[in-house]
Amino acid sequence: MHLVGLGFGIALTRSCALGVYYPGVIYRPISAPEPHAAVYAIWRPETLSPEASVLLAYVQAEGRQGAVE
């Protein structure tokens, strides 16, 4: 959230984060019928966790199906 407040993109978060104030951050629900966003992942190859690998595989699969661009 701090990086978002500094102007470095967007963050997806759960609704429980709505009560947390971060300067420069505006919370908006994803409510469009087909939300689209560019997704970038940055990591050091030697530190990619198994959980991050699963997330990246999911995002790539959804992107191929047209749900994520």
Which 3 state secondary structure label does DSSP give 15?
helix
Mean pLDDT of 45-50: 78
- At residue 69, the pLDDT reads 39
pLDDT band at 31 (very low <50, low <70, confident <90, very high): low
Name the phi and psi angles at 29, rounded to 5: -75, 155
Other beta carbons within 10 angstroms of residue 14's beta carbon come to: 6
Q: Structure pTM?
A: 0.37
- At residue 4, the pLDDT reads 81
- pLDDT of residue 63 exceeding 60, the answer is yes
